[in-house]
C-alpha cells in the first residue's frame, strides 16, 4: 500500500513514520507542502500516487487560533479541502485527524460519532467545518477524532507538567475539564489499522478511560516519582483565550465495531515516560 502523510514532522506524524511498516510511506512536513498552497499539494499527491492520504497537519495552537482565525480556517478547513480534492483526483482515500473540540462539552456521558457538532472555539469551528466539507466532498473518507494528544515528538501536557514539577514545589491544574488523554504511539497504530481496514465515516480514537487535567497531572507526577504537590483549580482561575469543553469524553463504540481496542491512558502514560527517559 502507498501512503502519503501530511504533517509528518508533527507530534503524531513522527510516530506515524516510525510505526508504519510494510508499506511505501511518504512523509511531508510543512516545509515540503504548505496546505495553503493548492498547486504544491496537488503536485506531491500526484508524484507519490498514494492509495491513502493521512492528513495529520493542522494549526493546533488552540489559543493562537482564537487570535488568528484567518490562519486557523485557511489551514484547518480550507487546507483540508485542498488535500481532499488532490486525493480524490489521484483516486486515493483520505483519513483526516479531527478533535473533541468540535463538541460544546455540555454532555455528561461520552460523545458518540453521531452527536451534533457545536464547537465553542475558533479551533473547534475550523475542525468542525472541515469535517462537514470533507464528508460532502469525499463521502468515503475516514474522520478520526482524538483528544488530549501527548507524545515525545513535541510539546504536550505531560512534558510541561514534568518540567514544572521538577522546578516548583506546587502546581495548579484545572479540575473541571474532563477528557481522554491519547498517546501519539497508540493513535498512530490505530490509524495504520484504520487504513488497512478501509474504514470510513467518523471514528473516535483515544486511549481508554477518562480524567480531568488535574487527575492527569497527579498521575504524571506520581509515576515520575516527583515530589511536587498538584492542586485543583477551576477554569475561571486559569483563564485562557479559547474556551475549552468541560466534558469531551469520546465514545469508542464505532472503533470497537471495527474490532479495535485502545490501551488505557494510564498504561499509555507509563510507556510515554519510559520512551521519554530513553
| Tens digits of residue pLDDT in 194-209 | 999 999 999 999 999 9
* CATH code at position 84: 3.40.50.720
Known catalytic residues are 123
160 found inside a domain = no
175 found inside a domain = no
End-to-end CA distance of the chain: 32
Helical segments of 50-183, H only = 62-67, 69-73, 79-89, 122-137, 157-165
The domain in which residue 28 lies consists of 2-155+180-208+248-264
149 found inside a domain = yes
Between helix 213-224 and helix 265-277 the angle, nearest 10°, is 50
Number of domain units in the chain: 1
- pLDDT at residue 239, rounded to an integer: 87
Q: Give the three-class secondary structure for 5.
A: strand
Distance from C-alpha of 212 to C-alpha of 219, rounded to nearest angstrom:
11
Contact present, 110 and 249 (Cβ < 8 Å): yes
161 found inside a domain = no
232 found inside a domain = no
Average pLDDT of adjacent 10-residue blocks, the chain of 278 residues: 97 96 95 97 98 98 97 98 98 98 98 98 98 97 98 94 97 98 98 97 98 98 98 94 97 97 98 96
500526484: which residue's cell?
46
167 found inside a domain = no
Contact present, 52 and 3 (Cβ < 8 Å): yes
Q: How many residues does the chain have?
A: 278
- pLDDT at residue 12, rounded to an integer: 97
Distance from C-alpha of 172 to C-alpha of 230, rounded to nearest angstrom:
6
233 found inside a domain = no
Cβ neighbours of residue 201 closer than 8 Å, sequence gap 6 or more: 113, 142, 143, 254
Contact present, 11 and 2 (Cβ < 8 Å): no
224 found inside a domain = no
Please state the separation of Cα 136 from the chain's center in Å.
22
Cβ neighbours of residue 135 closer than 8 Å, sequence gap 6 or more: 141, 143
Distance from C-alpha of 110 to C-alpha of 248, rounded to nearest angstrom:
7
Amino acid at each position: 500500500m502507498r501512503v502519503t502523510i501530511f504533517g509528518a514532522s508533527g507530534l503524531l506524524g513522527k510516530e506515524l513514520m516510525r510505526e508504519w511498516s510494510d508499506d511505501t510511506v511518504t512523509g511531508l512536513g510543512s516545509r515540503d507542502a504548505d496546505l495553503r498552497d493548492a498547486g504544491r499539494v496537488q503536485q506531491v499527491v500526484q508524484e507519490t500516487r498514494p492509495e491513502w492520504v493521512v492528513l495529520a497537519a493542522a494549526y493546533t495552537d488552540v489559543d493562537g487560533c482564537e487570535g488568528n482565525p484567518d490562519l486557523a480556517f485557511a489551514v484547518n478547513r480550507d487546507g483540508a479541502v485542498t488535500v481532499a480534492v488532490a486525493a480524490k483526483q489521484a483516486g486515493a482515500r483520505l483519513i483526516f485527524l479531527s478533535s473533541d473540540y468540535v463538541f460544546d462539552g455540555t454532555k455528561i456521558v461520552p460523545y458518540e460519532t453521531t452527536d451534533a457538532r457545536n464547537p465553542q472555539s475558533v479551533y473547534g469551528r475550523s475542525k468542525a467545518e472541515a469535517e462537514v466539507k470533507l464528508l460532502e466532498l469525499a463521502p468515503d473518507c475516514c474522520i478520526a477524532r482524538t483528544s488530549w494528544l501527548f507524545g515525545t515528538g513535541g510539546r504536550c501536557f505531560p512534558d510541561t507538567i514534568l518540567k514544572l514539577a521538577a522546578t516548583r514545589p506546587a502546581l495548579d491544574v484545572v479540575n473541571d475539564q474532563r477528557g481522554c488523554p491519547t498517546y501519539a504511539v497508540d493513535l498512530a497504530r490505530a490509524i495504520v489499522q484504520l487504513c488497512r481496514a478501509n474504514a470510513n465515516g467518523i471514528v473516535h480514537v483515544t486511549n481508554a478511560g477518562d480524567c480531568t487535567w488535574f487527575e492527569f497531572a497527579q498521575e504524571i507526577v506520581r509515576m515520575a516519582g516527583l515530589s511536587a504537590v498538584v492542586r485543583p483549580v477551576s477554569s475561571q482561575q486559569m483563564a485562557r483565550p479559547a474556551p475549552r469543553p468541560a466534558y469531551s469524553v469520546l465514545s469508542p463504540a464505532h472503533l470497537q465495531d471495527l474490532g479495535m481496542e485502545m490501551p488505557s491512558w494510564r498504561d499509555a502514560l507509563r510507556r510515554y515516560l519510559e520512551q521519554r527517559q530513553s
